[in-house]
Amino acid sequence: MYFAYGEEETDYLKKKDNRMAEVIDRIGHVKRKVDTDLFSAVVHHIVGQQISTKAQETIWQRMLSALGEVNAETVLAAGVSKLQSLGMTFRKAEYITDFAEKVHTGAFDLEGIWQKSDEEAIRELSSLKGIGVWTAEMILLFCMQRPDMLSYDDLAIQRGLRMVYHHRKIDRGLFEKYRRRFSPYGSVASLYLWAVSGGAIPELHDYAPSCLRRTKRA
């Protein structure tokens, strides 16, 4: 399953911004996979922190093989030691079992998150061990498919903005200008900015000084 969007979102963005219109026309439809199982998505994001995509998927496949299904019950049955043996750090295994325990006891309302506003959902998700604001924003986008996620803390988003709009630096004030411009379809704008940051339009380059040219995986 991919993040769902269509002409309504792209037409809106194209009307609001000529450069974004050029980017959308050049790149075409962007397919980004989503995981609509919220428990699984949270665990998958914890597993993937500070490691490569390849390493993340290796550990994830081991989890699926060992647990069968990644849910609160199977995680608690496995325990920290078993999870760590699959290749993750002890701390990540603790974070995941703590999350599973909260879901199991009802201390964390997994279903209730879906009914909350973006701000409330981010606040509750980022209260979990191992989940920061950026990770919570990515969960809202790639699990819950919220339509207006544009993350200031995502360095690849900042890089995409620099490349499209020829900025040397994206400070908070400048970022907020673009966030307002792309709202209420910031998530679709994010997909295109990630694509640009990844080299989808070869002639675009990063205008930042070399010390700023580091990206965070989206």
Instruction: Read off the pLDDT of residues 118-156 as tens digits, 9 standing for 90 and up.
Output: 999 999 999 999 999 999 999 999 999 999 999 999 999
With respect to residue 164, please indicate whether it lies within any of the assigned structural domains. Answer: yes
Within this chain, do residues 164 and 201 fall inside the same structural domain, yes or no? yes
Query: Who contacts 42 (Cβ-Cβ below 8 Å, separation ≥6)?
Result: 99, 125, 128, 131, 139
Q: Which of 142, 169, 186 is the last residue of a domain?
A: 142
**Token digits for 107?**
């201390």
> How far is the CA of 161 from the CAs of 19, 25, 32, 94, 157, in angstroms?
10, 17, 19, 36, 6
Give residue 218's pLDDT: 41
Tell me the C-alpha distance between 91 and 113, whole Å: 25
**Token digits for 127?**
């209260």
Q: Which of 98, 113, 142 is the last residue of a domain?
A: 142
For residue 47, the enclosing domain spans: 38-142
Tell me 107's DSSP state.
Answer: S
Within this chain, do residues 205 and 124 fall inside the same structural domain, yes or no? no
For the chain, which residues score pLDDT lower than 70?
Answer: 211-218
With respect to residue 2, please indicate whether it lies within any of the assigned structural domains. Answer: no
Within this chain, do residues 53 and 82 fall inside the same structural domain, yes or no? yes
Tell me the C-alpha distance between 191 and 195, whole Å: 6
Within this chain, do residues 61 and 130 fall inside the same structural domain, yes or no? yes
Number of domains in the chain: 2
Is the four-CA dihedral 36, 218, 126, 4 of positive or negative sign? negative
With respect to residue 19, please indicate whether it lies within any of the assigned structural domains. Answer: yes
Give residue 45's pLDDT: 96
Within this chain, do residues 42 and 137 fall inside the same structural domain, yes or no? yes
Within this chain, do residues 168 and 125 fall inside the same structural domain, yes or no? no
Which residue(s) pair with 33 in the sheet?
2
Q: Write out pLDDT tens, residues 43-61.
A: 999 999 999 999 999 999 9
Within this chain, do residues 135 and 156 fall inside the same structural domain, yes or no? no
Within this chain, do residues 153 and 67 fall inside the same structural domain, yes or no? no
Give residue 210's pLDDT: 76
119 Cα distance to chain centroid = 15
Within this chain, do residues 47 and 133 fall inside the same structural domain, yes or no? yes
With respect to residue 1, please indicate whether it lies within any of the assigned structural domains. Answer: no
Q: Which of 116, 142, 168 is the last residue of a domain?
A: 142
Give residue 160's pLDDT: 98
Within this chain, do residues 23 and 119 fall inside the same structural domain, yes or no? no
132 Cα distance to chain centroid = 11
**Token digits for 70?**
């990644």
Percent of the chain with pLDDT over 70: 96
Tell me 33's DSSP state.
Answer: B
Q: What is the CATH number of the domain that holds 164?
A: 1.10.1670.40
Tell me the C-alpha distance between 136 and 124, whole Å: 9
- Type of residue found at 188: V
